[in-house]
Amino acid sequence: MSSAEKFLEIHNVKTHFPVEKGFLFRRRLGAVKAVDGVTLTLRQGEILGLVGESGCGKSTLGRTILQLIRPTEGTVSLEGQSLTALRGASLRRARSAFQTVFQDPYASLNPRMTVFDALAEAMRAHVRVPRQELPGRIAALLQKVGLSPQAQRRYPHEFSGGQRQRIAIARALAVEPKLLVADEPVSALDVSIQAQIINLLARLCREMGLTLLFISHDLSVVKHIADRIAVMYLGRIVEIGPAADVIEKPLHPYTKALISAVPIPDPRREAKRARILLPGDPPSPLNPPGGCPFHPRCLYAIERCAQVVPVLEPFGQTERQASCIRMREINAE
Amino acid sequence: MPLLIVENLSTSFHTRNGVVRAVQDVSFQLERGETLGIVGESGSGKSVTCYSIMGLVPQPPGRIEGGRALFGDVDLLACSHRQLNRIRGRRISMIFQDAMTSLNPFLRIGEQLIEPLMIHENIARAAAMDRALAMLNEAGIPEAEHRLKMYPHEFSGGMRQRVMIAMALITKPDILIADEPTTALDVTVQAQILELIRKMQNELGMAVILVSHDLGVVSGFCNRVMVMYAGRVMESAQIDDLFYDTKHPYTRGLQKSIPALQMKGEELHTIPGQPPDPHRLPPGCPFAPRCGHAVEYCAKEEIRLLEVAPNHRTSCLRVQKENLPV
């Protein structure tokens, strides 16, 4: 495989958070296994959508890739360079290659910095830019994300949510990264604004050849932007494949249920379709069930599901994978 | 006769930066057993409409500028606190988006559940507890007897919303107002909660007002929908008519900009621009600055919600005058 095929490699990553009790005499009670053995490869220029419900570990995985949280086990490499091995100054230098956009544009921008200051700070953190070139570069950057160059002199509070998210995207792009991790970038926005930001991200990726990891709880949003979709449940990837395949013919029982629960904005279709109503809540990652983590809520579960931990296995000719021991049985045609 | 008649409701907030007209001239009726959806983006006035009816708008800074909300022969906007308190929580109940902040963290669930009964009905504590237990079972909470003695933090988000629903319905109200009841929940849990509300509605024969920003949720749940924008009703129709015979460009724009699962992964349609600043609403139609169909008079003439087809109202001036296809 060429290096473009293995642009970002995540190998058997586990991120566990210890849970302790007591102050002076700390006792370890256990660990929240937020990410529990994820292996994933992204191609250069690809958009991968990472979906799952709250608590499934999708944000922790995103932060582990960004080295904002160090993994307990496993490696993350970008273009062959291991990020997990980097420390201090060398990690800081490497950071210009991977940037992030967070969910809440109200919290992620410093209210006391003008747009110019925020973008200039990002730019100068990694690249030596002569002072007189800054205004021109920042104006070009703002134009790229659909804001007027006059915006540089203003403060975040003068902008609406959608515009702030554009500023956050501009800041991430200021250092010309190769990889962007966007964690729920449109979840805090109204529908009419969501569409604008999704289109913007898709266009930027196309034009700049960016690789994007798009994390969201909303399957319909992800479908619109992603080339491939990975579905997470309790710290593991349970299904991965080309976006259209995963949505139209999901393999894993959890993906099936997730898709059937997404409301369709079309009353006639909505009335006709069959719903899979999952019983119960997602279990706590502090105390996950044995065997397949989904088996207590699964409609297809058999006795063996409580004993065997399933691994991702390929399905059919395409690059689809799912982790369910009954995958072939329940998807036979 | 309709259960609830709201006529020309206007609510505004008087702030230091000027007057915000949060709700302007909103009228609708709610029939017995019906499900009405109120859809809009943040700041469209959908929640303030419900808060006004329930007498929950803080005054000041809020002020009900005009209108009536007739429940039977009582005008909820003009009646005394005593009268309102006999209706609220008994005949009309409300549930909110965030169940954690709507429940008292210091009280056991059982205590909170019986509160509406102790207030509104002449009932002994033990009998009220029995009703609470039965209600929790109805709401699909396992081990209900044990759960009565637990505190809100011991429940998951979905379970807390079930408790809220049980509490709202324990007095068997005629109307349930649900303000974004599933927005904070995961989709699989959202499906469970909507199913529960539907089941309870069928059992009790109550009417439901569902406030939501999600046209998808509304299309599977409501008989009739009212679309709001910048404090005004843009369109109101039976659910099928709203989708298949749309009579307002904003509704159309909203439908097209939703990323839907069944659509191809193509570029999304967007509504250009942003909702107007509530302090400085534009003259004429508030949607005109973003509307692809807007002509000169849209930015000048005052809009009114008018019936343009049976049971189908729109406030689009061009649809009213020229029967513009949108």
Contact residues on chain B for A195, CB-CB shorter than 8 A? 257-259, 268-271
Residue A161 has pLDDT above 70, yes or no: yes
At A253-277, the pLDDT tens digits run 999 999 998 888 888 888 888 888 8
| pLDDT, position B206 | 94
State both tokens at A216.
């969201």
Return the higher-pLDDT residue of B303 and A105. B303
| pLDDT, position B285 | 94
At B116-162, the pLDDT tens digits run 999 888 899 999 999 999 988 888 888 888 889 999 988 888 888 88
Contact residues on chain A for B267, CB-CB shorter than 8 A? 199, 202
Q: Note whether A177 and A209 are within 8 A (CB).
A: no
Q: What is the pTM of this model?
A: 0.86
CA separation (Å) from A136 to A129, A130, B34, B79, B193?
11, 11, 59, 62, 52
State both tokens at B244.
């298949």
Cβ neighbors of A211 (< 8 A, separation 6 or more) are: A7, A8, A42, A43, A44, A45, A46, A47, A178, A179, A180, A205
| Chain B residues with CB within 8 Å of chain A CB | 41-42, 156-159, 186-192, 195, 213-217, 219-220, 239-240, 243-244, 253-255, 257-263, 265-271, 274-275
| pLDDT, position A267 | 87
| pLDDT, position B114 | 93
State how far the Cα of B29 lies from the Cα of B5, in Å rounded to an integer.
5
Q: Which residue of A has its CA nearest to B186?
A: A53
| pLDDT, position A302 | 93
Q: pLDDT confidence of A300, banded at 50, 70, 90?
A: very high
Count Cβ atoms below 10 Å from residue A131 Cβ, excluding itself. Answer: 8
Contact residues on chain A for B42, CB-CB shorter than 8 A? 190
Look-up of token digits 């439901």: B208
State how far the Cα of A121 lies from the Cα of A116, in Å rounded to an integer.
8
| pLDDT, position A189 | 86
Q: Note whether B43 and B71 are within 8 A (CB).
A: no
Q: Note whether B236 and B315 are within 8 A (CB).
A: no
Burial class (CB in 10 A: 0-12, 13-18, 19+), A206: exposed
Residue type, A221: V
Residue B17 has pLDDT above 90, yes or no: no
Question: Chain A 176-205, CB below 8 Å of chain B: which residues?
Answer: 190-196, 198-199, 202
Least confident interval from A248-262, B36-50, B199-213, B268-282:
B268-282
Residue B208 has pLDDT above 90, yes or no: yes
State how far the Cα of A94 lies from the Cα of A99, in Å rounded to an integer.
10
Touching check for A312 and chain B: CB below 8 Å?
no
Residue B286 has pLDDT above 90, yes or no: yes
At B22-74, the pLDDT tens digits run 999 999 999 999 999 999 988 899 999 999 999 999 888 999 999 999 998 89
Residue A326 has pLDDT above 90, yes or no: yes
Q: pLDDT confidence of B266, banded at 50, 70, 90?
A: low
- What percent of chain A has a predicted confidence (pLDDT) above 70? 99
Is ipTM beyond 0.90?
no
Touching check for A275 and chain B: CB below 8 Å?
yes
| pLDDT, position B8 | 94
State how far the Cα of A100 lies from the Cα of A90, in Å rounded to an integer.
19
| pLDDT, position A284 | 77
| pLDDT, position A190 | 84
Reported in sequence order, the residue ranges of A72-220 that DSSP labels E, i.e. its strands, are 73-78, 81-82, 98-101, 179-183, 211-216
Q: Note whether B5 and B207 are within 8 A (CB).
A: no
Question: Comparing C-alpha atoms, which of B100, B23, B108 is closest to residue B65?
Answer: B23
Residue A279 has pLDDT above 90, yes or no: no
| CB contact (8 A) between residue B258 and residue A265 | yes
Average pLDDT, chain B: 90
Q: pLDDT confidence of A333, banded at 50, 70, 90?
A: low
| pLDDT, position A210 | 94
How distant is the Cα of B149 from the closest Cα of chain A, in angstroms?
Answer: 20
State how far the Cα of A271 lies from the Cα of A103, in Å rounded to an integer.
33
Q: Note whether A209 and A263 are within 8 A (CB).
A: no
State both tokens at A118.
């925020």
Return the H-helix or E-strand segment holding A10: strand A8-21
Nearest Cβ partner of A261 from B159, B190, B215?
Answer: B190
Cβ neighbors of A309 (< 8 A, separation 6 or more) are: A291, A292
| pLDDT, position B263 | 60
Q: Note whether B56 and B243 are within 8 A (CB).
A: no
Reported in sequence order, the residue ranges of chain B that DSSP labels E, i.e. its strands, are 4-15, 18-30, 35-39, 62-71, 74-75, 92-95, 175-179, 207-212, 224-229, 232-238, 306-309, 312-314
| pLDDT, position A2 | 55
∠ CA A28-A308-A251, nearest 5°, is 110
| CB contact (8 A) between residue B265 and residue A259 | no
Nearest Cβ partner of A191 from B158, B258, B261?
Answer: B258
Contact residues on chain B for A202, CB-CB shorter than 8 A? 267
| CB contact (8 A) between residue B190 and residue A223 | no
Q: Note whether A111 and A156 are within 8 A (CB).
A: yes
| CB contact (8 A) between residue A220 and residue B258 | yes
Interface with chain B: mutation pick from A266, A268, A269, A299, highest number of B CBs within 10 Å: A266
Residue A324 has pLDDT above 90, yes or no: yes
Q: Is the peptide bond before B61 cis (omega within 30 degrees of 0)?
A: yes
Least confident interval from A35-39, B116-120, B261-265:
B261-265
Q: pLDDT confidence of A125, banded at 50, 70, 90?
A: confident
